[in-house]
Structure 1
Amino acid sequence: MTAVAPPGKGERLADWFDGRLGTHTLGRKYLRKVFPDHWSFLLGEICLYSFVVLILSGVYLTLFFHPSMNEVTYQGSYLPLNGVRMSEAYASTLDISFDVRGGLLIRQLHHWAALVFVAGMLTHMMRHFFTGSFRKPREVNWLFGWSLLFLGLFEGLFGYSLPDDLLSGTGLRFVNGALLSVPIVGTYLSLFLFGGEFPGDDIVARFYSLHVLLIPGVMAALVVAHVLLVVHHKHTQFAGPGRTERNVVGAPFMPVYLAKAGGFFFLVFGTLCLLAAVATVNPVWAYGPFRADQVSTGAQPDWYLGFAEGLVRVMPGWEINLWGHTLVLGVLIPVVVFPLMLVFIGVYPFLEAWLTGDKREHHLLDRPRNRPVRTAIGASWLSLYLLLLVAGGNDIVATRLHLSINVVTWTLRIGVFVVPAAVFVLTRRICLGLQLRDRERVAHGRETGVIKRLPHGEYVEVHEPLSQAQLHTLTAHERPGELVEREP
């Protein structure tokens, strides 16, 4: 009889954890979870990995940054500012950039990761929007992602303002003016945000608490909830052979997906480090410390807030007087439109479900061409966003292209109304045309380029039947609901 070897230390340790945490059951269930394979699914991973880089680099920066507006006289390595009075926040930012070993690399890594994080979230949500993956049962997860985008915008604003340089101070002056334009409560909103009258002496400390503690904690919780719901609902997938609403076709989490995800994390991390090493971003030493009597020429926010400034720049300077109060409509209307644009993005899944009456669960993704109205709405919104982004730099456009600032501004004002409507009509027609082409391919096959002469003298092109996989891709979609236009 063969003796049974006693369990080793590793087995006993695994049994100990399994008896208390149920690790074997969890591992058996989730380590073999199937992940579909498509390049667009990497967009969400870019968001996650850049968020991890933000946390790591942010922790390093907090070790050297002093969130104080107390004035000091700078005596550091950057000679052009030696002897200049500035806040401790700005002085510590200069120290991080020039005196802390690797400080400039980490600071630029943090800034680049923030830019990529917001860009990744926006692109990730665009992928979900155009493919319809926000539909039941994923509406709540869409709201989680929307909340992350919303918080990411303000997290970037607060972090961008911490160095207390002239450029960030100019941006805060813009924010203060927008808040003061709100009737009745505008003054109170400004006092609450800045801890007193702008500029005050408490801004950096207040923003530091929001940027380092409150908002990152909420965002981390939302990221965890977002990932857990992805696991719970299972992954969406594009239509294809063997793929239905009740299964997922792909590779298991362990070891295939884990190896891909690990490699992709280091690819994202390495790319961000390369950007931080070779591309200067936010050179605060070139702007100087913030002073209330100065302003930066050609000041521009980070790209993800450019559309908010563009809203203000395209508005005429209208003012009206009501009951003894002056309403600055040139600022108030953009302040109202900005959150309404974000709210529309958040509630769209519920709006589409209400308009189409669709209450079913969906796990297969749409091809954008098969939902022409939804695709046209998304393209129209993107065109509006890009126009407002350009409008946020109308002075730079006019200066660089030697144009009149009035011509540029009026062109953008007209474009804000005309271009989105034109893009909507054009995108819808393109989608309907692509649907018609797909039906012709299904009915007649693929063009081969081979010309054949028939016995009676007629010349025709030879068509080759499509494969079963191609036919499945072109035909495995539902009939449009009320929100989608009638087929041509």
Structure 2
Amino acid sequence: MNRVAAWFDARLGGGAWVRKAMRKVFPEHWTFLLGEIALYAFVVVLVTGVFLTFFFKPSMSEVVYAGPYAPLRGVRMSEAYASTLEISFEVRGGLLIRQLHHWGTLVFLAAITVHLLRNFFTGAFRKPRDLNWIIGVALFALVMFNGLFGYSLPDDVLSGAGLRILHAITLSVPLVGTYLASFLFGGEYPGEDIIARLYSIHTLLIPALLLALLPLHALVLTWRQTHTQFRAKRLSNAQVRGVPFYPAFAAKTTAFFLFVFAVIALLATLFQINPIWLYGPYRPSVVGAGSQPDWYMAFMEGALRIMPPWEITVFGFTVSLSVLIPALIGPGALFTGLALWPFVERWITGDHRVHHLLDRPRDAPIRTGIGVAGVVFYGILWMAGGNDVLAHTFHISLDTTTRFFRVAVLVGPVLAYVIAYRIALGLQARDRRTLTSGVETGVIVRLPAGGYEEIEAPAGDELVAALTPPDPPVRPSRFNTADWRRAVAGSRADDD
């Protein structure tokens, strides 16, 4: 191995950099594994996707099915649907690979979501990682829409319902909507070219962007900027505590990749997902009852369902706000707000310092309240995407569920913000009591006067370092919002 390494070093150089990289320290906190789950799930999706491209035919030309699945023999269907049936029933291991690909995508998106929330609530997006945060938000958007496009490729009834919604959203774009829809679908809905064009986007364009941005986000910038870590004794912005990349972290992360693959493989083996043979080929006149998209698109489905049927006329053109707001303006505002949040918080707090140490959510109550409000807002829209299923399951009126979600989507985030904000302040107060009074020991003694008292031990250095909030930044005098200074910047709040 040494001779091979010396051979490459003599021709390519970089030996000193490699030796230094092998000694790079990686933190051991479990929350740092969330990004690794996303990375390894992407590897599974990429490998299985390459396998599926060998057999999938992205064509809407009609054929008559004559394969082994008896209930569909003699049925006219597109080549895309027929080839998906072939992968599922005739290609050795094809159904397992399909399910690995689908479950891997769901795990990939779930890991990205939780990883993004972890970075938001701990303030990992602050300088110098604001650029990396923007790349992460872009990755989240790209993966979400690529999942939607891949979900639409089999051309079954369920994915066709999603394409119908995509067509309506495209038409809702003011002025150019009809032209965009005609270009994307290749004519009147459902057109002849939509599957082939989605296939090109799904397998070429977006994967190329992901392959460029993901290493930049997960490896290059993270390696250059060092890792964040939680506050502890003898830690500062200039120090990282953990294990070296080789051999400790390399062995650990290899095992973790095997664990992630094992979980996805178990899901693909034991839990059926997207059985397109039960839905049948897509027909514009058919919509299955209880049709639901994958979980990551359910928030948009819910927004479309509860949005009132508003329309406006501008210069003789009718604009459908009932589609434009929930499907385009809403998601656009969400991703724009996420991308700009590091700069908004920096402008409000006046904090332009470099941060390598993370906040606890309680140290920034306003940021935490806003984050919890966003999670509740998303969760309510997610549940609204199944309002028909909820109405049927609990035997209540569909109109009642719709009206409930219209109110809840406005009231719920406000209540969530207030509750999260007050809980964070209460936890800060408890930390101050621990720092001043000590740690509860559970030992009760009787006082000479007859009363009882618990003995408290002084907080240790590690606990003091963890509980002590960071110093607030120096803010310009033109800002008089002291509550923002204390809460967002993580200083101690005066009130409980």
TM-score bracket relative to the smaller structure: over 0.9
CA distance in 1, matches of 2:22, 2:4: 19
Q: Report SS of the residue matched to 1:305.
A: helix
Give the 5 Å matches for 1:80-479: 80-226=71-217, 227-334=219-326, 335-475=328-468, 477-479=470-472
Aligned 8 A contact 1:373 1:483 in 2: no
Q: Report SS of the residue matched to 1:460.
A: strand
Q: Report SS of the residue matched to 2:319.
A: strand
What's the TM-score once normalised by structure 2's chain length? 0.94
Q: Report SS of the residue matched to 1:321.
A: strand
Task: Judge which range, 320-329 or 265-274, deviates more.
Answer: 320-329
Question: Could you list the runs of 5+ residues in structure 2 that have no partner in the other structure?
Answer: 476-483, 488-492
- Post-superposition shift, 1:412? 0.5
- Post-superposition shift, 1:328? 1.8
CA distance in 1, matches of 2:321, 2:18: 58
Which residue type is aligned with residue 48 of structure 2?
A: S
Which residue type is aligned with residue 422 of structure 2?
A: R
**After superposition, what is the alpha-carbon deviation per residue over 1:390-448, rounded to whole angstroms, capped at 9, x for unaligned?**
01111111011111111111110000110100000010000000000000011111122
Query: Which residue in the other structure is 1:4 paired with?
Result: none
Which residue type is aligned with residue 308 of structure 1?
A: M
CA distance in 2, matches of 1:118, 1:456: 62
- Post-superposition shift, 1:330? 1.4
- Post-superposition shift, 1:449? 2.5
Aligned 8 A contact 2:68 2:89 in 1: yes
Which residue type is aligned with residue 172 of structure 1?
A: L
Aligned 8 A contact 1:432 1:487 in 2: no
Query: Which residue in the other structure is 2:494 paired with?
Result: 487
- Post-superposition shift, 1:61? 0.6
Q: Report SS of the residue matched to 1:197.
A: coil
CA distance in 2, matches of 1:287, 1:322: 41
- Post-superposition shift, 1:483? 5.1
Aligned 8 A contact 1:179 1:189 in 2: yes
Q: Report SS of the residue matched to 1:451.
A: strand
CA distance in 2, matches of 1:121, 1:381: 16
- Post-superposition shift, 1:345? 0.9
Aligned 8 A contact 1:373 1:484 in 2: no
CA distance in 2, matches of 1:313, 1:216: 31
Aligned pairs, how many?
Answer: 479
CA distance in 2, matches of 1:344, 1:194: 31
**1:24 and 1:341, CA in 2 relative to 1: closer, same or farther beyond 3 A?**
same
Question: Could you list the runs of 5+ residues in structure 1 that have no partner in the other structure?
Answer: 1-9
Task: Judge which range, 251-260 or 180-189, deviates more.
Answer: 180-189
**1:184 and 1:473, CA in 2 relative to 1: closer, same or farther beyond 3 A?**
same
- Post-superposition shift, 1:131? 0.4
- Post-superposition shift, 1:341? 1.1
CA distance in 2, matches of 1:366, 1:219: 29
Q: Report SS of the residue matched to 2:454.
A: strand
Which residue type is aligned with residue 387 of structure 2?
A: N
- Post-superposition shift, 1:15? 2.2
CA distance in 2, matches of 1:461, 1:74: 78
Which residue type is aligned with residue 392 of structure 1?
A: G
CA distance in 1, matches of 2:330, 2:366: 23
CA distance in 2, matches of 1:135, 1:342: 17
Q: Report SS of the residue matched to 1:83.
A: coil
- Post-superposition shift, 1:476? 5.1
- Post-superposition shift, 1:484? 4.5
- Post-superposition shift, 1:152? 0.5
Superposed CA RMSD in Å reads 1.4
Query: Which residue in the other structure is 1:57 paired with?
Result: 48
Task: Judge which range, 40-49 or 183-192, deviates more.
Answer: 183-192
Q: Report SS of the residue matched to 1:135.
A: coil
CA distance in 2, matches of 1:394, 1:300: 10
Q: Report SS of the residue matched to 2:472.
A: coil
Q: Report SS of the residue matched to 1:326.
A: strand
Q: Report SS of the residue matched to 1:244.
A: coil
Query: Which residue in the other structure is 1:6 paired with?
Result: none
Which residue type is aligned with residue 420 of structure 1?
A: P
Which residue type is aligned with residue 252 of structure 2?
A: K
Query: Which residue in the other structure is 1:18 paired with?
Result: 9
CA distance in 2, matches of 1:11, 1:449: 58
Query: Which residue in the other structure is 2:480 paired with?
Result: none
Aligned 8 A contact 2:387 2:398 in 1: yes
Query: Which residue in the other structure is 1:32 paired with?
Result: 23
CA distance in 2, matches of 1:223, 1:467: 41
Aligned 8 A contact 1:447 1:463 in 2: yes
Aligned 8 A contact 2:472 2:486 in 1: no
Task: Judge which range, 342-351 or 130-139, deviates more.
Answer: 342-351
**After superposition, what is the alpha-carbon deviation per residue over 1:327-361, rounded to whole angstroms, capped at 9, x for unaligned?**
22211221311211111111111111111111110
Aligned 8 A contact 1:34 1:250 in 2: yes
What's the TM-score once normalised by structure 1's chain length? 0.96
Aligned 8 A contact 1:352 1:483 in 2: no
CA distance in 2, matches of 1:422, 1:118: 27
CA distance in 1, matches of 2:68, 2:485: 62
Query: Which residue in the other structure is 1:3 paired with?
Result: none
CA distance in 2, matches of 1:383, 1:476: 27
Query: Which residue in the other structure is 2:62 paired with?
Result: 71
Which residue type is aligned with residue 413 of structure 2?
A: P
Q: Report SS of the residue matched to 1:440.
A: helix
Which residue type is aligned with residue 381 of structure 1?
A: G
Aligned 8 A contact 1:242 1:249 in 2: no
- Post-superposition shift, 1:316? 1.0
CA distance in 1, matches of 2:27, 2:293: 38
Which residue type is aligned with residue 290 of structure 1?
A: Y
Q: Report SS of the residue matched to 1:292.
A: coil
Task: Judge which range, 438-447 or 321-330, deviates more.
Answer: 321-330
Q: Report SS of the residue matched to 1:449.
A: strand
